[in-house]
Structure 1
Amino acid sequence: MSDDMDMEPIPEQPTRHRGSDADLRPYRGAPAVDRYKEARRLEEQVKRDEEAKREAKKREDERLEAKRQERQRRKEEEARKKAEDEDRKQREIIAEIKQRAEATATEARRKAAERERLRLEEQEAARREQFRREEEARREQFEREEAARKADLDRLETMRMIAEAEAAREEERRQKIAEEAAAERRREEEAEQRRVEIQRKEGELAARAAEVRRREEAEAREREKKMVEEAQAEARR
């Protein structure tokens, strides 16, 4: 060593092993030997410090990783709960829409049945009235024929007037039936339009729920990316 140039020669002494402290016995107490020992001690201390730092960094990395995994678990749990809430709300909205649609259809069927019943009752009443009138006409005709054949002209005139009145009533009845049929068709068309509108709203709600889920997933990925970057930055520090 260059530091040994100012030392006086010392007789060679036997050594136990090359490179051990026995090699330094002839120089024990010399400044160069002390510096060598101090250097070796410092080197060992540096190695121990570096090993301690690596262990500390490893423990810190494990702690950060555990913290990140816990944040990730909580975030996934929150996202799962939120998605379940959204699905539940969506199902409730759809159930309510279907319930309203079924109530509307039931009411429409009830009204249609009521109108049909009234129509059949009116038809039966008209038939009975027609039968009664026919019977009355035959009776009057018989009485008139028996009373005086000379009233044939008056009877024929009366029959003509009765026939015209009956035709007018029949025409009025047919017109009323046609108007009711037209009104029924309009109501059915309105019910169909409401059904189509309900289906459209259901589709819009489903699309909106899907968009919300996609946006939440994107936000969750962004938050995860930021947390990973923060964890890496903290690990580098």
Structure 2
Amino acid sequence: MIRIMDLHKTFVDGEGENRILQGINLTIHDHEFTTIMGPSGCGKSTLLNIAALLTEPTSGSVYFDDQLVNFKKEKSLEQLRRNKIGLIFQNANLINCLTVLENVILPMNSGLSNKVKKSTALELLDMVGISNKSKNNVKSLSGGEAQRVAIVRALVNNPKVLLCDEPTGALDSDNSSKVMELLLETRKRTQCALVIVTHDKEIGNLGERKIVLRGGEILGVENDFQAV
């Protein structure tokens, strides 16, 4: 589904070039659960942002469903992100002036009627156990509840892949466990691919394929997933 070939990413600042990723080759298969681990600054989040089509690589190629991604065509990138990719970050990044329901409906495809949008959103909120808070302003939510809304928001367009950057990083251990359980249940229910960037070894070891980054390079891969 997502294939990354000989990928390099360099940022330039006042002190010169900072090589973040070097020679990355990676394929994310349909239905696969992949974890990406490594110390802070090793390039995990940058790699995820490139896979999410949010950051353009300095060199190398990214393919989505066997089609070469052109990072210069923002309209095409936006369509791919909206229709194929679900994104979840460490912070829920909800819009505070909107209700829970309004936050979930906002990214839904414009071709749907308002009735369909609302019913779909409420069904998903019910799936994660917070449909009773659909009319609440998101500022009233706990951290765990806000992250559940973020998960629902990422699922509204039925993505092929769910990309998560430290999705439990801002949560306590109890809410962290609940969010991970929800992500795994969601992946099983929807059959989407799931990619989680994490510094937590316990979460990292849950992956069917475990990738370790260090110094911008893939240090090792442990694979329990059998691609069809």
Taking structure 1 as the reference length, what is the TM-score of the superposition?
0.17
Taking structure 2 as the reference length, what is the TM-score of the superposition?
0.18
Higher strand content, 1 or 2: 2
Q: Give 1 or 2 for the bigger CA radius of gyration.
A: 1
Higher helix content, 1 or 2: 1
